[in-house]
Amino acid sequence: MKKKVNFITTLLLTLIMAGCNSQQSQQNAKESGASSEEAMNITKEQLDHLGITDVNHLSAASKRALKWPTDLGNEWFIEFGPLKPLKGDLAYEEGVVRRDPSAMIKHNGKYYVWYSKSTGETQGFGGDIENEKVFPWDRCDIWYATSEDGWTWKEEGIAVKRGEKGAYDDRSVFTVEIMEHDGKYYLCYQTVKSPYNVRVKNQVGLSWAESPDGPWTKLDEPILSPADNGIWKGDNLQDRSMVEKKGDFDSHKVHDPCIIPYKGKFYLYYKGEQMGEEITFGGRQIRHGVAIADNPLGPYVKSPYNPISNSGHEICVWPYNGGIASLITTDGPEKNTIQWAPDGINFEIMSVLKSVDAHAIGLNRTADVEKEPTEILRWGLTHVYNSWHYQSIMRFSSKRRTAHTAPGEVKESKK
């Protein structure tokens, strides 16, 4: 009986303490909510806009929403349309890889584009890596094509070939970008030296010419290399997950280069891959960096602020309003966003897109980039996987989305 009384007494005390704690928690939450409102200077307009009616009970989501910028309109928000096939020589061709189109420029009334091209199936890393293709972008040269309307293209030939055996670019040159500056033309691109194993560290090369039709002069040395501060674990060249030290965000690879003339200098944006790359809550651990030079030919010095993104894949950047805008896709917690940096380095999210159906985007550099933030994305080039072995270049389009209208809804015109 004594044990039963003690149990009931203990239970009552527990319930009383729980009730007191609950009341205290509610009071703390109320005070926290009130202080949060005061600290954030919440306005009635914000509350009405977000549908919040009780400022004393703000969830973590509501608190985040109240911190969103209030000066952003919908001028940064776009939706991509369906991809459409090209005509002429850039139409899909069985047995041929055409991928990673550069930006387009216009010269003598014609659009120019450069791209990676190879032939034959991909065998992967399980085959004879000395003589087979491990990726579709393996054993590529850089080709170019021209068009009068952006739809029908004529393939003009090779612009930049792979290097001689033993050179830093003897295996493949691919994922190219074009920069036109002061009457000269510059192609930057990824390079791989044989043998192409999983742990290979690629670099960035550059060629220049006085005409978009060439001839192209290739620099003898790469203009950008991965950081040299990671340490592999073991000697298995086909294992990239095992590391003793991961090193910088770009300790394994530097990819997708793009040079932008900016503020009297040259900003080389690129994708970095880290040794021992992980899958995180945002997917692949991919980030972007920038290297800056006083001359288009270099030397390029990596920014001490790298990495300059938390996410991304292929580089897609353009100047806007005195800064640099960037479309972030595919990988990481901030994928499918458009970001902008007033200084080309410190990027903030300007819009979050529901999807990005164009990848490895070739921008239309003839667009009026100051008309509106996303004008350069109205149309351009991309690539699709027709199969794992073969890819082709397509045309993308996008439009601004400013309102949601239900089917059959009649909107009253503004007067």
Averaged pLDDT for residues 305-332: 98
Contact (CB, 8 A) for 392 and 94: no
Distance of CA 382 to the CA centre of its chain: 14
Strands 337-341 and 348-352: antiparallel
Look at residues 148, 173, 139 and name the one whose alpha carbon lies nearest to residue 159: 173
According to the model, what pLDDT value does residue 12 have?
Answer: 38
Contact (CB, 8 A) for 142 and 189: yes
Residues of the chain above pLDDT 90, percent: 84
According to the model, what pLDDT value does residue 187 have?
Answer: 99
According to the model, what pLDDT value does residue 73 have?
Answer: 83
- Res 403 pLDDT > 70: yes
d(CA 235, CA 245): 14
Contact (CB, 8 A) for 212 and 112: yes
According to the model, what pLDDT value does residue 411 have?
Answer: 75
Instruction: Give per-residue pLDDT as tens, 155-196.
Output: 999 999 999 999 999 999 999 999 999 999 999 999 999 999
Query: For the chain, first and last CA: distance in Å?
Result: 84
Instruction: Give per-residue pLDDT as tens, 26-68.
Output: 444 444 444 444 456 889 999 999 999 999 999 999 999 999 9
According to the model, what pLDDT value does residue 71 have?
Answer: 81
| Full set of structural domains in the chain with CATH | 2-66 (no CATH), 78-400 (2.115.10.20)
Instruction: Give per-residue pLDDT as tens, 236-261.
Output: 999 999 999 999 999 999 999 999 99
3-state class (DSSP) for residue 217: strand
d(CA 378, CA 358): 12
d(CA 337, CA 345): 16
